[in-house]
Amino acid sequence: MSGADEMISGESAGEVPRPVPTDGRDEAWALIKKDGLVTPESGRYQAYDFRSEDGRVLLYVEEFC
């Protein structure tokens, strides 16, 4: 997460994309870890990373209710 060039949180089932500023990522990651990444059993968040040809990384975290 800290190595991503950009981080976006998808709230309201991904309907409301919200950029996460670099200085807010630690707080966002703490919340994600607390509530859990989606697994077959449980979790509230699903994380995706996208990489461009020039090596830039976008981390997109979708929130499920």
Amino acid at 3: G
Range list of H helices, 1-65? 25-35
pTM as predicted: 0.68
Give 28-63 as a DSSP string.
HHHHHHHH-B--SS--SEEEEEEE-TTS-EEEEEEE
Q: What is the pLDDT along the chain (65 residues), one digit of tens a residue?
A: 667 888 888 876 667 888 888 888 888 888 877 777 766 566 677 888 899 999 999 988 887 76
